[in-house]
């Protein structure tokens, strides 16, 4: 065995086998866990569609420039975490690190601005970020999200939060809290930035190197710093909520009023931030209140400046995104119950001379809506019996030459061994009715 670049190369005689593993930070999703994924994804799609949102899927990679402009040059995502490569024609491409920039690009490019407003979209896509390895963080990860384009109204903000609240309620995720804030607009933000500069200036030499750089480029980003020694200075920083202009103040009040009317409780959070200019007004986050898994489950907010930055005309917009892997951890911690997978209705056992007829019978039953398995290994009778037992099928039948002739089957219920003779034409009906019992 030869170790080479972390991959194991095994020489076996003249055949060289290489054990290729999945790239670090990626994960296979296997059939035994997919039912949870389906439950979450299907419920999300159902909730979104009931609120009148249509699904959108954008390309897995986009021109790098889109994310540089649409996510922001100064963000960690763009500076450190993107999978960027030159294609064969030498153009810089990037695997999408988040959904909103690509969707805003698609909105502009497909002329969706000329559709009746608002345009309401949802998505279920995977994204790519080269992140430090930690539990529950993957370099390819999945997110569910919504975007509303074309409405500046506070009611659009309230509706998009309502989508989430309905989703969490129907999912059964009860230990959650909505954190709500406002980050103002280009009118009132400069005053806030001036106040931040004044606050941090005196202690800047006690703060981390990143923060010292952020102080020069964009002091708002200091508020995102996770470094321990910076926390005391961040905790005492002024809040944007005290610097909102009249219009932003009114907008925020209207969001809160609408949420009250919808019976959605929230905590006004005075320290929520977004470091980029095109984020405006409402910011929100759902956090888990479950002991052991506290932290953000979902983040969102208004981004009235984004479409314009990407070359469209001024279009107010609001949206959110949540990670499916994070959500699944939460579901497990909060012991949310899912309906069990539908069991196998029928296992058909066959002989070499009836195997192909058994395949045809299985196909007929499957097209009637049943879940059916038959032998595709050409195994012995005994081995097939064993497989039927292990399959937890509701019924089994043995398809021999006699059954081929008589078109009658002896159907055996595996839970108690009770047997019934059923004609081939009645078989599907019989099994479908048996499901209801
Ligand atoms: Zn404002
Ligand atoms: Zn810092």
Q: How confident is the model at residue 75 (pLDDT cuts 50, 70, 90)?
A: confident
| 299 in Cβ contact with 279 (< 8 Å) | no
Answer with the residue of higher pLDDT: 57 or 77. 57
CA distance 274 to 395: 58
On average, the pLDDT of the chain sits at: 92
**41-74 in b/e burial notation, b at 16+ Cβ within 10 A?**
eebbeebbeebebeebebeebbebebbbbbbbee
Ligand nearest to the CA of 249: 1
Ligand nearest to the CA of 240: 1
SS3 of 428, please? helix
Query: Smallest Cα–Cα separation from 29: which of 40, 20, 19, 18?
Result: 40
Mean pLDDT of 263-286: 90
* Max intra-chain CA distance, the chain: 94
Res 4: pLDDT = 45
User: How much of the chain, in percent, has pLDDT values that exceed 90?
Assistant: 82
- Given a cut of 70, whether residue 171 has pLDDT beyond it is yes
Mean pLDDT of 115-137: 92
| 37 in Cβ contact with 144 (< 8 Å) | no
C-alpha of residue 26 to centroid of ligand 1, in Å: 41
Mean pLDDT of 33-47: 94
Q: How confident is the model at residue 246 (pLDDT cuts 50, 70, 90)?
A: very high
How far is C-alpha 205 from the chain's CA centre? 40
The enclosing H or E element of 274 equals: none
Mean pLDDT of 302-329: 96
Res 76: pLDDT = 82
Ligand nearest to the CA of 243: 1
Q: How confident is the model at residue 89 (pLDDT cuts 50, 70, 90)?
A: very high
Mean pLDDT of 286-306: 92
Q: How confident is the model at residue 167 (pLDDT cuts 50, 70, 90)?
A: very high
| 154 in Cβ contact with 258 (< 8 Å) | yes
Domains of the chain as residue ranges with CATH: 31-188+244-333 (3.30.930.10), 346-436 (3.40.50.800)
Mean pLDDT of 63-76: 90
Q: How confident is the model at residue 275 (pLDDT cuts 50, 70, 90)?
A: low
Res 72: pLDDT = 86
Res 12: pLDDT = 52
Mean pLDDT of 130-147: 90
Q: How confident is the model at residue 25 (pLDDT cuts 50, 70, 90)?
A: very high
Answer with the residue of higher pLDDT: 107 or 340. 107
Residues around ion ligand 1, judged by CB within 5 A, are 184-185, 187-188, 245, 248
CA distance 206 to 221: 17
Ligand nearest to the CA of 252: 1
The residue count for the chain = 437
User: How much of the chain, in percent, has pLDDT values that exceed 70?
Assistant: 96
Ligand nearest to the CA of 230: 2
- Given a cut of 80, whether residue 340 has pLDDT beyond it is no
C-alpha of residue 16 to centroid of ligand 2, in Å: 50
């Amino acid at each position: 065995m030869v170790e080479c670049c972390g991959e194991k190369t095994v020489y076996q005689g003249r055949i060289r086998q290489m054990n290729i593993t999945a790239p670090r930070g990626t994960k296979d999703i296997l059939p035994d866990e997919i039912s949870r994924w389906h439950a979450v994804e299907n419920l999300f799609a159902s909730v979104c569609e009931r609120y009148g949102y249509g699904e959108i899927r954008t390309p897995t990679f986009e021109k790098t420039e889109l994310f540089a402009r649409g996510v922001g040059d100064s963000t960690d995502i763009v500076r450190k975490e993107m999978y960027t490569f030159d294609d064969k024609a030498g153009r810089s491409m990037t695997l999408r690190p988040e959904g909103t920039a690509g969707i805003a690009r698609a909105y502009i490019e497909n002329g969706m601005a000329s559709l009746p407003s608002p345009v309401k979209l949802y998505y279920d896509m995977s994204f790519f970020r080269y992140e430090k390895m930690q539990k529950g963080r993957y370099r390819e990860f999945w997110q569910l999200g919504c975007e509303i384009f074309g409405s500046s109204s506070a009611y659009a903000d309230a509706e998009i939060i309502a989508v989430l609240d309905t989703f969490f309620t129907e999912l059964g995720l009860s230990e959650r809290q909505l954190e709500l804030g406002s980050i103002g607009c280009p009118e009132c933000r400069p005053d806030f930035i001036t106040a931040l500069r004044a606050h941090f200036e005196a202690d800047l030499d006690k703060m981390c190197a990143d923060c010292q750089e952020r102080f020069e480029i964009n002091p708002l980003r200091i508020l995102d710093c996770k470094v321990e020694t910076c926390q005391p200075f961040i905790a005492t920083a002024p809040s944007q909520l005290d610097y909102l202009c009249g219009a932003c103040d009114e907008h925020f009040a209207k969001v809160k009023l609408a949420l009250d009317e919808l019976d959605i409780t929230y905590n006004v959070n005075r320290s929520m931030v977004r470091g980029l200019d095109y984020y405006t007004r409402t910011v929100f986050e759902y956090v888990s209140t479950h002991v052991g898994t506290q932290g953000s489950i979902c983040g969102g907010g208004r981004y009235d400046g984004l479409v314009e930055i990407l070359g469209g005309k001024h279009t107010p917009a609001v949206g959110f995104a949540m990670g499916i892997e994070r959500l699944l951890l939460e579901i497990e911690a909060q012991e949310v119950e899912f309906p069990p997978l539908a069991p196998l209705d029928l296992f058909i056992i066959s002989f070499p001379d009836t195997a192909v007829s058994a395949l045809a019978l299985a196909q007929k039953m499957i097209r009637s809506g049943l879940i059916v398995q038959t032998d595709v290994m050409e195994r012995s009778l005994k081995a097939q019996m064993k497989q039927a037992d292990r399959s937890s099928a509701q019924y089994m039948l043995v398809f021999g030459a006699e059954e081929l002739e008589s078109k009658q089957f002896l159907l055996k219920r595996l839970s108690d061994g009770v047997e019934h003779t059923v004609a081939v034409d009645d078989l599907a009906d019989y099994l479908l009715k048996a499901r209801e019992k």
